[in-house]
Structure 1
Amino acid sequence: MLDLAIIGGGPAGLTAGLYATRGGLNNVTMFEMGMPGGQITGSSEIENYPGQAEVVTGMELMENWPAQAMKFGLKHEMNQVTNVTKEGDIFTITTGDGKTQEAKSVLLATGSVPRRAGFKGEDEFFGKGISTCATCDGFFYKNKEVALIGGGDSALEEAVYLSKICSKVYLVHRRDTYRAAPSTIEHMKACENIEEVTNVTVEEVIGDNTGVTGLIVKSKESDETRQLDVPGVFVFVGRDVLNDPLKQEDGSFLCDVNEQGEVIVDLKMKTSVPGLYAAGDVRIDAAKQVVCAAGDGATAAVNIIEYIG
């Protein structure tokens, strides 16, 4: 029986594995279909990870994390966890090959993925001028004009964030009203360099071999098109949390989740089910930063060690 089953091999899962095994747990397995590292391995430039003075790729940043974690006994099983159930004090982990394993505790660190908006050019220029993380990539557009697509709280908050870095932010939204808190809307409208481009559809992102050069939108009222000449486009139309392992046969979840499917945890990363923890982007109020996910993993592991006793 496993002391701890970690589902997901990104920064949260790897850090949890490191802390759990170094902290004394003897039988810890991390389930990750591919090579450990997480979504950040797809990033071309990382310059805001503490202690990393040189700009590196996401792959370079994560290169030594698996070896360090496994040095203390973490095992990596290249398998997908399809379901987690609990009976009494014991969890049952079901993997894609139909096999099951039992565990005393479980950490869900599967993360989330940005929801695609579906406009032309989105896939072609993703990572080449199209971003889903203003905190990660906003600095690359310092004193330049950018466009941001979305109308929820996150979109407006990120527009405000970008307005402090960029010379101008075009806030592009398909409606003329926002799905955000009144205080957030008021904060956004107070930013003089945010131009609202509302009640439009995004037709296409255009660019060349250097990356994005513009965004074409169409008015829903007049069908007129407009080209916004920007080198960067930020997309905030929501995220899909990867919570499938928690889904039960009756359609419910093993633990409490919010309306977006994010796992509800406390400051110790505990869920509503004893022995079940969640860390990183799959949990509520996640900052969606590598350093924060790593901190979550460490916090969860320390408390899991205490739970197991």
Structure 2
Amino acid sequence: MNVENKTTTPKGDIEKVKCLIIGSGPAGYTAAIYAARANLSPVIIEGMQPGGQLTTTTEIDNFPGYPEGITGTEMMADLKKQAERFGTDCRWGLVTSVDFSSYPHKVVVDGNKTIEAESVILGTGATAKYLGLETETTYAGSGVSACATCDGFFYRGKDVAVVGGGDTAAEEATYLAGLCNKVYLIVRKPFLRASKAMQDRVNRTENIEVLYEHNTKEITGDGVVEGVTLIKRLGHDDEQEVKIKVDGFFLAIGHTPNSGFFKQFITTDANGYVITEPDSTRTNVPGVFACGDLKDSVYRQAVTSAGSGCMAAIDAEKFLAERE
């Protein structure tokens, strides 16, 4: 979800709401379902990409309740329909600034609409980092993925590549190695940045081949990923083009939590993930709650996001009840 980091509040009529939800992925929509059933009359600002990152995913097979699988777009449409069934007001829009310095909290949408909210649930998610290749976009959903746990199942018995050299890349590579025939781990440096324990796991896994000092030039294929062209560094000014055949290309170079527009008010860790109280979705600002990938740098699954969305709505309901 894209937002702008501004702090000005436009003049004009101010709409007052009991519960405002920012973000419309599994966390946001689930929070809306629970908040609506609790008679909080939630308003959800869906952002520029209603449904969030899952709408860029083709088949989802690991979300409970869909035994035959479902596309990300269809699942998000189902969640939105369920939220609306209980009275959620779903709105397309972009949050351009917030003011959590006083209560009720003020949120500005599209630069000209001010909403005054008694409770705010943040579910803006996190954006996977990409290499910036044009072919990453070309093959998105057709062999390019940023989540091995989500999509690895579709590559059973096949050859895949994972890009990255940290713990996440090592974890993704070893996970895929249990499913795939061969895993190439593409590392731009001459060493892995992963912890010693993760390096040992990679080195002990026979079907992982680490390609050190390789950079991805382009992804190739006819409609779907069929191979990757790499540039191997041979010396100070010498390099070699290398082509490998793969059916899947996994990015494991990190995520960026979409927290920039409210970081001046909400406590985050060094990477921008929102810090909440233990066993809770409460942030450092009373009445503001965080859920989903915005606060989760470990699991990043649709089902865990949905679960934390439920928690956020329950926490918001309790907060409002205590104020009455």
TM-score calculated relative to the size of structure 2: 0.88
Select which of 83, 91, 100 maps to 1:77.
91
The one-letter code of the counterpart of 1:3 is K
Select which of 284, 291, 297 maps to 2:303.
291
C-alpha contact 1:120 1:203 (8 A) present in aligned 2? no
Corresponding position: 1:233 with 2:249? yes
Select which of 36, 46, 49 maps to 1:21.
36
Deviation at 1:112, TM superposition (A): 1.5
**Matched residue, 1:214:** 227
Q: Percent same amino acid among aligned pairs?
A: 37
**Matched residue, 2:44:** 30
* d(CA) in 1 for partners of 2:134, 2:212: 19
**Matched residue, 1:282:** 294
Select which of 102, 107, 116 maps to 1:93.
107
Deviation at 1:282, TM superposition (A): 1.1
Give the stretch that moved more between structures: 91-100 or 281-290: 281-290
Select which of 242, 252, 260 maps to 1:244.
260
Q: Secondary structure at the match of 2:299?
A: coil
* d(CA) in 2 for partners of 1:256, 1:14: 24
Structure 2 gaps, min length 5: 1-15
Matches within 5 A, 1:107-146: 107-119=121-133, 121-146=135-160
Give the stretch that moved more between structures: 61-70 or 299-308: 61-70
The one-letter code of the counterpart of 1:246 is F
Select which of 240, 252, 261 maps to 1:224.
240
**Matched residue, 1:257:** 268
Corresponding position: 1:171 with 2:190? no
Deviation at 1:240, TM superposition (A): 2.0
* d(CA) in 2 for partners of 1:289, 1:47: 12
Structure 1 gaps, min length 5: 248-252
Residues 145-186 of structure 1 show CA distances to partners (whole Å, capped at 9, x for unaligned) of 111111121111111110111111110010012222222222
C-alpha contact 1:264 1:284 (8 A) present in aligned 2? no
C-alpha contact 1:159 1:171 (8 A) present in aligned 2? yes
* d(CA) in 2 for partners of 1:273, 1:95: 20
Deviation at 1:229, TM superposition (A): 0.9
C-alpha contact 1:280 1:286 (8 A) present in aligned 2? no
The count of corresponding residues between Structure 1 and Structure 2 is 302
Deviation at 1:120, TM superposition (A): 5.1
Give the stretch that moved more between structures: 233-242 or 160-169: 233-242
**Matched residue, 1:48:** 62
**Stretches of 4+ moved more than 3 A in 1?**
33-36
**Matched residue, 1:6:** 21
Cα RMSD after superposing both structures: 1.7
C-alpha contact 2:101 2:265 (8 A) present in aligned 1? no
Q: Secondary structure at the match of 1:208?
A: coil
* d(CA) in 2 for partners of 1:87, 1:140: 47
